[in-house]
């Protein structure tokens, strides 16, 4: 037997671990998946077969986190994908794979570029105080059903396809 599904929330919060590994056979989280407030956490790995999070996916307040390679098959986040207060984060690989996000909030994260290669549908998009981020690209984006806000970002490149349905506000 193995853990394939969590019906509610899965929370890793305020622990002294340096690396999250395992959860490699988990396929679905029925509520939120929260990984936050772990000051020693340096690498987020595992969750290799996670396809869907029905609630929010939050990775926040982990000042030592420098790499994320955790969500190789993630396709859908029903709530908001939140990446906040991750100043050392230099690489984001798995968490950018979904084709559908309920929303996207990235604030005070150290990544130089953000590429969401398969993202087709998203609610609100907020990218705030990303001084190190020079490029953001969402080449497959078809539907934006909320606001699009980019503020305090060192962007030189912002890429999206020519036609996006549902755009209600652009603030850059």
For residue range 9-48, what is the model confidence (pLDDT) as tens digits? Answer: 999 999 989 888 879 899 999 999 999 999 999 988 889 8
For residue range 102-123, what is the model confidence (pLDDT) as tens digits? Answer: 999 999 999 888 889 999 999 9
Pinpoint the alpha helices (H) of the chain.
none
Tell me how far the alpha carbon of residue 3 is from its chain's centroid.
Answer: 23
Q: Collapsing DSSP states into helix, strand and coil, what is residue 102?
A: strand
Pairing of strands 67-69, 91-92: parallel
**CB count, 10 Å around CB of 54?**
20
pTM, to two decimals: 0.90
pLDDT at 106: 93
């Amino acid at each position: 037997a193995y853990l394939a599904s969590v019906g509610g929330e899965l929370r890793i919060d305020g622990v002294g671990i340096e690396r999250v590994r395992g959860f490699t056979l988990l396929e679905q989280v029925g509520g939120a998946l929260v990984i936050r407030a772990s000051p020693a956490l340096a690498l987020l790995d595992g969750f290799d077969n996670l396809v869907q999070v029905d609630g929010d996916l939050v990775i926040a307040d982990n000042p030592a986190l420098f790499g994320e390679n955790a969500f190789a098959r993630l396709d859908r986040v029903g709530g908001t994908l939140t990446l906040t207060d991750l100043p050392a984060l230099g690489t984001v690989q798995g968490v950018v794979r979904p084709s559908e996000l309920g929303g996207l909030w990235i604030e005070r994260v150290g990544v130089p570029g953000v590429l969401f290669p398969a993202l087709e549908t998203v609610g609100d998009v907020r990218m705030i105080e990303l001084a190190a981020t020079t490029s953001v690209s969402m080449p497959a984006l078809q539907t934006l059903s909320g606001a699009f806000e980019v503020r305090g970002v060192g962007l030189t490149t912002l890429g999206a396809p020519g036609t996006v349905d549902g755009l209600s506000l652009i603030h850059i």
